[in-house]
Amino acid sequence: MAKYVGVLTAGGDTPGLNAALRGLGRAAQDVYDMRVIGFRDGFRGLMENRTLRLEGAALSGILTMGGTILGTSRDKPHKMPIGSRILDMTEVMVQNYRQHHLDVLVCLGGGGTIKNATRLMKAGLNVITLPKTIDNDVAKTDITFGFDTALGIATEAIDRLHSTAHSHHRIIVVEIMGHRAGWLALGAGVAGGADVILIPELPYDVNKVAEAILSRSREGKNFSIVAVAEGAMSLEEAEVYRAAEKAVEEAKDDESEAAAEARVAELDLAHVGHTMRLAAQLEQLTRLESRVTILGYLQRGGTPSAADRLIATRLGTACATYIEEERYGVLVAVRGEGTKPVPLPEVAGRLKLVPPDHPWVQSARFVGTCLGD
Ligand code: F6P
């Protein structure tokens, strides 16, 4: 009997999402004779039953397109804003899944999406997730799609900033996405030859950063590029932040968990503008003029790289085979040249952070890059 497949894209958009939808849709229909429908705007579309048939023409011409033809949102099934209230809409989603006679719901997303998909799995649905995010921070997969494209964009930005920093003898602080994980800032920083790289996993001492910049000046290099991840923190900030995160992990009930999460959200809000403050501090400490460039959403937009199209197509087509074999409740992870089904509970709630002794970190140190520690 033909299988019925539902699919949605959730969380931040990422180059390669359409390539993955095309890979899944084509293999599911043409190879396995399945029926595929998409839900619009992430879990909200599943809740509101807003669909798009993903067949024939809908899958043509999308391989090279950025964004997602399905639309996306950061809505969570169990905390959905409905009018002025926040409600648990899980049961409505379960009913819509049943109404479409779905055999499986495929969720393309990062850490938040995997947690939400796992919640739906616990509510009785068959789910499969594909790892997408420019942050590359999904556990148990070699890589996520979207990362390579963003890495190229951020590296090119650092290349371009070099000539202007050099001409004006300035410090240019370039903010690169990555709230919790520094893969993108580290990768682009190493590839682009940034003089300083600051990532969340390695809290920094601003005096050491200033000293590294001054030492370059003494060598006659009176400009510096500082690649800073969105979530990079000073040693003092990191201590406060870790205590708040620990409180979330150790919360004993829903109420204390909500209070601890609110504290983390408060700290996240207070962190906004961090890069501007850092640049001002460096200007004061070094007496070199400083400027800031925030790459922001440019890193998520536009055409996916060839590497991302390949990974997304591999994962989408492998997913169709997993569905045929009824391997549900898994993340389709990238392992070497192949894929591996990883049970969702092993991935949900776990981030893949940069280990302090990772080869990229070692290489950065060996070429003389200051990591602020
Ligand atoms: O999860 C990917 C990501 O790009 C992060 O690096 C960034 O912090 C976040 O999304 C911002 O997303 P938005 O503003 O779309 O919620």
Q: Using the atom order of ligand 1, give the atom closest to the CA of residue 134.
A: 2
Q: Using the atom order of ligand 1, give the atom closest to the CA of residue 13.
A: 15
Q: How confident is the model at residue 252 (pLDDT cuts 50, 70, 90)?
A: confident
pLDDT above 90: residue 249:
no
pLDDT above 90: residue 281:
yes
CA end-to-end span of the chain, whole Å? 59
CA 247 to chain centre: 24
206 and 286 co-located in one domain: yes
- 214, part of any domain: yes
Domains in the chain: how many in total?
2
Q: How confident is the model at residue 371 (pLDDT cuts 50, 70, 90)?
A: very high
**CATH number, domain containing residue 199:** 3.40.50.460
pLDDT recorded at residue 258: 86
Q: How confident is the model at residue 178 (pLDDT cuts 50, 70, 90)?
A: very high
Residue where the block lists tokens 């190879």: 31
Mean per-residue pLDDT, 322-350: 97
35 and 115 co-located in one domain: yes
Query: What is the whole-number distance in angstroms between the Cα of residue 307 and the centre of ligand 1?
Result: 21
pLDDT recorded at residue 145: 98
Q: What is the pLDDT of residues 39-77, one digit of tens each?
A: 999 999 999 999 999 988 999 999 999 999 999 999 999
Work out the burial of residue 268: count CB atoms within 10 Å of its CB; fewer than 13 is exposed, 13-18 middle, 19 or more buried.
middle
247 and 333 co-located in one domain: no
156 and 136 co-located in one domain: no
Tell which one of 73, 74, 75, 135 to mutate to probe ligand 1, the residue whose CB is within 8 A of the most ligand atoms.
135
Work out the burial of residue 6: count CB atoms within 10 Å of its CB; fewer than 13 is exposed, 13-18 middle, 19 or more buried.
buried
Q: What are phi and psi of 351, to 5 degrees?
A: -105, 145
101 and 170 co-located in one domain: no
Q: Which residues pair with 338 in a beta bridge?
A: 335
Q: Which residue's C-alpha comes closest to atom 9 of ligand 1?
A: 12
32 and 99 co-located in one domain: yes
Which of 272, 300, 328 delimits the end of a domain? 300
Q: List, in order, residues 6 or more apart from 311 with CB less than 8 Å away.
A: 16, 143, 145, 148, 334
- Among this protein's residues, is 357 annotated catalytic? no
Mean per-residue pLDDT, 146-162: 98
131 and 163 co-located in one domain: no
125 and 194 co-located in one domain: no
Mean per-residue pLDDT, 273-288: 97
Q: What is the mean pLDDT of the chain?
A: 96
Q: Which of 137, 125, 178, 135 is nearest to 8 (CA)?
A: 125
115 and 169 co-located in one domain: no
pLDDT recorded at residue 9: 98
pLDDT above 90: residue 251:
no
pLDDT above 90 coverage of the chain, percent: 95
214 and 319 co-located in one domain: no
Q: Using the atom order of ligand 1, give the atom closest to the CA of residue 231.
A: 8
Tell which one of 68, 134, 228 to mutate to probe ligand 1, the residue whose CB is within 8 A of the most ligand atoms.
134
> Are the C-beta atoms of 369 and 196 separated by less than 8 Å?
yes
Phi-psi region of 80 (alpha: psi -120 to 50; beta: other; left: phi over 0): beta
121 and 209 co-located in one domain: no
Q: How confident is the model at residue 172 (pLDDT cuts 50, 70, 90)?
A: very high
Q: Which of 119, 69, 113, 114 is nearest to 94 (CA)?
A: 119
DSSP string, 58-81: GGTT-TT--S-TT-----BTTBEE
pLDDT above 90: residue 255:
no
CA pseudo-torsion sign 115, 116, 122, 126: negative
CA dihedral (92, 73, 240, 135) in degrees, to 10, reads 130
Q: Which of 135, 137, 148, 195 is catalytic?
A: 135
pLDDT above 90: residue 257:
no
Query: What is the whole-number distance in angstroms between the Cα of residue 187 and the centre of ligand 1?
Result: 17
What is the residue range of 98's domain? Answer: 4-145+304-346
Q: Decide: helix, strand or coil at residue 351.
A: strand
pLDDT recorded at residue 128: 98
Q: What is the pLDDT of residues 73-90, one digit of tens each?
A: 999 999 999 999 999 999
Query: What is the whole-number distance in angstroms between the Cα of residue 102 and the centre of ligand 1?
Result: 30
DSSP H helical ranges for 142-273: 147-168, 183-192, 206-218, 235-250, 254-271
pLDDT recorded at residue 56: 87
pLDDT above 90: residue 254:
no
CA pseudo-torsion sign 204, 210, 215, 216: positive
Mean per-residue pLDDT, 270-291: 96
- 330, part of any domain: yes
> Are the C-beta atoms of 187 and 151 separated by less than 8 Å?
yes
CA 145/CA 36 separation, integer angstroms: 22
Residue 340's alpha-carbon distances to 197, 318, 324, 335, in angstroms, are 33, 9, 15, 6
76 and 106 co-located in one domain: yes
Query: What is the whole-number distance in angstroms between the Cα of residue 107 and the centre of ligand 1?
Result: 17
Query: What is the whole-number distance in angstroms between the Cα of residue 72 and the centre of ligand 1?
Result: 12
> Are the C-beta atoms of 226 and 195 separated by less than 8 Å?
yes
- Structure tokens of 271? 């962190």
Q: Which of 72, 80, 76 is nearest to 11 (CA)?
A: 72
Q: How confident is the model at residue 228 (pLDDT cuts 50, 70, 90)?
A: very high
Angle at 323 between CA 321 and CA 326, to 5 degrees: 115
Cβ of residue 132 lying under 6 Å from some atom of ligand 1: no
Cβ of residue 133 lying under 6 Å from some atom of ligand 1: yes
